[in-house]
Structure 1
Amino acid sequence: MRFLLLAYGLWLSQLGLAQSRSIKIVGGQVPSGTERRLALVIGNKDYRHVRALKNPLNDAQDMSNALEQIGFEVITLTNTTFGQMIAGLNRFKDKLTTSDVALLYYSGHGVSYNGRNYLMPIDAELRCLEQIEENSVSLNRVLADIAARQVRNSFVFLDACRNLPDLSICNGTQKDVTLQTGLVRPTNNPRGSMIVFATEEGNTADDNVNGRNGLFTEALLKYLTKPNLSIRAILDQTDLEAEAKSGGRQSPARYDKIRGEFMFVIQTPADPLPVTPAPSNAESVTRSEPARRQNQTKPIASGKPTLTPTRLTNYLDLPFADLVYVPGGSFQMGDTRNEGSGNETPDHRVIVSSFMMGKYEVTQRQWEAVMGNNPAYFKDCPDCPVESVSWEEVQEFLRKLNIRTNMRYRLPTEAEWEYAAGGGDVANRSRFGNGQDTLDPSQVNFDGNGQYITPYSVSGKYRNKTVEVGSLEPNQLGLYNMSGSVWEWCQDWYGDYSSAEQTNPTGPATGSYRVLRGGSWFTEPQRCRSSYRGRNTPESRFNYVGLRIVLSIP
């Protein structure tokens, strides 16, 4: 393993959001801006006796810059010997007495021996296993030192799992000696801490020799400074990206003992961001819009129905409650353009029956009408999509909605969602869920910052929040926000694709994660593609995850 990040954070028992001109640094029970943030960043690259690494100095530099952006005082050390590492760690430890938030980042070789993890200085000369304890720095020691300072919360991220040559010479005689692969589960992580490995226990992590940073570090840096994300949300996105870019070979692991939540940055605009008006040929929508009955039609009975939105009388009589008829057909599900992640393959033929799908994502107003509460992070916008809802809470919403309406509304299957996002059974299915092959921030609510731009997207405004449903452009079927806005829960358990043709697939029978689709307001273009697959645990809730409903047609 090749990267150690130790972030000491304050859990947020309350999140008071005062107005801010730009970025607001938030720590739990301490008034914002009064807590101290301290970081130690170490990058070891040029090893004298074992294989040198490519990216640790870049990792250290980039991590130091990122941490300074979010209010940390940073101590940066590079290419450290054993003595320099110990001196730096002692300096860091001595400063922790008054720190509310502390972070230790290490990038370099790491090994595990006899059930413990060790960080290697550049002068470590290991001829037999016993010398590991003498010439490397014990992670257990680091954790014990920090725990002794009684720092309130801590987060540990370790990306130092790399293959090393076998230790085969000891006292001049040949011995068959083998290091344990990767790192092992930590045994003394303090209460209130989170320790994260760049890959699972016993595995090795990708040094990403063709990139500037290690694979895990590259992903972490992308999300660490983003506003309004909890540490768990940051790690969820980091994990997904590392898994996707490694083809599933590298899956980060975390050991979480923190309580509550922690955000590095909360950003609230001083003034509401303007909403892009709908195109002239689209149906206009406003917050005060009455229940629109002009599109009311009878449920589909026979013949070929039109694609106009349908207001079924049993659906909630509220704005944005329209359903769109999606005619059945077949399509190639998955990455048909050779530009996606390994979990999007193999592409395979899927046949889908006709169904009705929500023209818009479920709004805060609609959720509150059914559930009696509004869990959304971006409140004061009743016709913005509801977010911060778990898959399990969505099931309760659907249960209550169906009791109230005497209908059988549900979440879309993953196949139904991708079919509808790309335009249905058409020859030229679109790359994105707004009916286009190029993503434009004027049409879709996503992270349009220039550093994330791809050959099939353009840069522009990053709204950094949700906006009213129906305020941007729909796709060929008249469905809004199928790319960007908020990730949408699907009914399926997450699992690998099969190459076999399928009809109305519903995914695996069991699993650990539920499928998410579509990207969100903070997602970069690559993950807003119609074929991109996200996932999360059924109990998780984040301010970029919401839902859209469907109704089967008998």
Structure 2
Amino acid sequence: MVLTPGVCASSPAVMWRPDRARVSVIGRATGAIVHRSPGRARRTPLKPSAQGRPGDRHHLWSKPCALLSRTDVRVPPAPGLPCALWPPSGGERKQGSGKTCRGNAQPRLFPGTMRTGPWPHRMSHRFSPAHLAGTLAPLLWGIFMRARIFNRVVGLAALATALLVAAATPASADKRIALVVGNSAYKNITPLDNPSKDASLMAETLSTLGFTLVGGRAQLDLDKGAMDIAVRSFGRQAQGADVALFYYAGHGVQVAGSNYLVPVGANPTREADVDFQMTDVNLVLRQMQGSGTRLNLVILDACRNNPFGSRGLRSSDGGLAQMRAPEGTLISYATQPGNVAQDGSDGHSPYTKALAATIRTAGLDVFQTFNQVGLAVKRATSGAQQPWVSSSPIDGTFYFVPPTQTAPPQVAAVQPDPLPADRLRADPDRVPLRDAALLSELSERLYELNFDPDTPDGLTRSITKLQQRISMAPTGEATEGLLLRMRKMDDLKPWGSIVYGPDGSKWGMSWNHASRRAAVADARGNCAGAKCPIELSFYGKGCGAFAISDKSWSLVQREGVQRARDAALDECGKAGKACRIIGSVCADGSGR
């Protein structure tokens, strides 16, 4: 291959020789020729006698720049080549003279194979197909290799770009699934104003926080069939998710210690109807438990007045029963179990309004979020409504909105702590509780252990009695250590209760409830509208009896219904009048 100096580096002249040398290349205008033959390679100086003697059959194909550009422009020769290659226009110099070309010499390469005449030259010998293939093969191979290298470079560039984009893009959030239900348009009971608005607000808020909504939006005014389909779809879509959230606003009732959500078409006339006309909250919990999620959130803004109280249902007068949260689950009630929540007068309930605002706050974990919600609702209702949370241990930390990444503040250097590095943490039994939500939890747990912390000075007395029962120093102080111990205690159940209102001579009785608060609420629901402030509650194997006369009455608890009846009669008879038993029952419902 002869590169024509001064013309174009990409304008080759390819020479084929009969001795099977593949290609001969002049490596610059140095007069040197490189032979590349099978099995050898050498570099020898170019001799004038080798530049095309008459009679040598060199086959030459030339394609200079002037031809590539499709013009017939005469290209000036490059100085420095031997005159045998570049004869003067006035005639040929003697070969081997060693002189170089000067002036406007016309190129004439290998006179034994090329015709003289104006540039560009034409071939004086035709290539055979084999010759042509051997000539073009190296060129095509070079093009192919360059294409492979180009593709690899493009691929590596694309990969690098993708890695840079991935590094610059924040990590995607956990997979979040939510079912939001709001029932307002009840057909057989008094409709509610706000649940559908509350559900729409929550759906919009959760959607902006990365939750995928079942059905793509809030599910409003569902009947029993539609609620079952929505819950079943929720369970399927929660498979493989990190967080599953269920929100319900509307009527909810507790029946025999279980909580039911009321579809818009429900019209029960007896207790047995609730299983077919209402949705058990435990059904939702089972769907979430079987999905393998890391965190389950159940939010119930359903603690309103019981709309079926006059139909003979043995449910509470209002509110929901406390439920044990399964593993990895947090249950949030709009108010304390057994109490009634407000529906709201400004288009949204106080609970949902506070919740929708609080979960948008960055940097609050799930426990801090619901604690702030509880405080906001308590302030908004002047203490009349206090949200309640039931939770099991949750692995890891969940944020509705993660904390923002900020640079750590610059602080001045401080002197090293003179105390030992292995200083022990303060004893939790000596760390007092200051947080309002934790104090509320402590009080509720004391109530469920059958103490009365809500009476005047009752918190201190209840703590002292509990400390004595569990062999702690009876300080009467609410501490972190005491609350931690109470969280590890088993729930007491079943519960029964007898309540009495001396002013109106009304009384009520209940049994077989999962919590004391639920049992009391059920019993007071049988007081025909009276307050019935006097309460006797019992659990496990305990039984209660109510004895009364014209001058006195007594409520007594004993283990065994007959012992309770005898003790009640004795206590009531101390006033000197004969008494009679008007009610007795054990916590499990026996002895009536």
Return the structure number with greater helix share.
Answer: 2
For the criterion TM > 0.5, the same-fold answer is: no
| TM-score, structure 2 as length reference | 0.41
| TM-score, structure 1 as length reference | 0.44
**Larger-gyration structure (1/2):** 2
Higher RCO, 1 vs 2 (CA within 8 Å, ≥6 residues apart): 1
